Amino acid sequence: MDTPHRPPRRPHAWLPLLLLSQGLVAWAWWRWGWPLGLPLMFATHAVCWWGVLAPNSALYGPVLSRLPTGAREVWLTIDDGPSGDTAAILDLLDAHGAKATFFLVGDRAQARPDLVREIARRGHGIGNHSRTHPQAWFWALGPRRMRAEVEGCQRQLAAITGATPRWFRAVVGHANPFVSAPLRDEGLARVAWGARGFDAVDVDVARVLGKIERGLAPGAIVLLHEGAAHGRNVEMVAKLLQRLDALGYRTVLPRP
């Protein structure tokens, strides 16, 4: 498999397009008035919001949403740890001969460094999922706070494992215009997903697995979580691993 690792190269490429679009809006408003200018303004703003809120949008920088393979392989990604679920999930992965990438929150990793080292020791990947996981406001962070979230998590995870993460997942998948510059500087590639079951909020194991299975395909990136308040993430991972085995899928870690 060719490496799909693509850090941003031009983190500010969106800015000229934004300025051009708003210039066109101003010209249309001046030329034809609000009946055209107002809907055109709303349309251009909607595109900008789509770039923030759609996890697979590459408007503000490259994002990986599937692996470049035709084989029955999937990439398991597990967000929000380390947590009280981590050890049990690691045992499940071992039992199925499966590998996953854990996208870890820096402050949580600093509080449970032994779990982070155990993830690495067992041959799993470790990714950057921000320093503090500001779930409600990540989409709105300015450049200084965004850089602190990305770089702070890098420093914390590197200090624990001795290795610098190469993959980044935006909190809730929301990536605003300011995320690409620190990703470029840290050599991080942003990862989205193609199969998800909303396992962080849904307590129905069968419903979660059904949603994930509908997204399964060769090269699918599967989004999972650990440590959710409902307490059923370990059970969900166990059932998913059983289902992947039954469907003939194997798990892979892409080359960074």
* Closest by CA position to 79, among listed 226, 216, 238: 226
Calculate Rg over the CA atoms of the chain.
Answer: 20
Q: How many residues does the chain have?
A: 256
* 3-class DSSP state of 63: strand
Per the residue annotation, which of 45, 79, 124, 133 is the catalytic one?
79
- Indicate the burial class of 77 (C-beta count within 10 angstroms; 0-12, 13-18, 19 or more): buried
Please spell the DSSP secondary structure of 182-239, one letter per residue: HHHHHT-EEE--SEE--TTT---HHHHHHHHHHH--TTBEEEEESS-TTS-HHHHHHH
The 3-state DSSP class for residue 24 equals: helix
Given the residues 12, 204, 225, 245, select the one marked as catalytic. Answer: 225
What's the CA gap between 68 and 111, in Å, rounded? Answer: 36
Indicate the residue type of 174: H
Instruction: Give exposure, 81-118, as e/b (b: 16+ Cβ within 10 Å).
Output: bbbebbbbbbebbeebebbbbbbbbbebbbebeebbee
Rounded-to-integer distance, Cα 14 and Cα 59, Å: 7
Instruction: State yes or no: is 85 an active-site residue.
Output: no
Judge whether 225 counts as a catalytic residue.
yes
Supply the residues annotated as catalytic: 79, 225
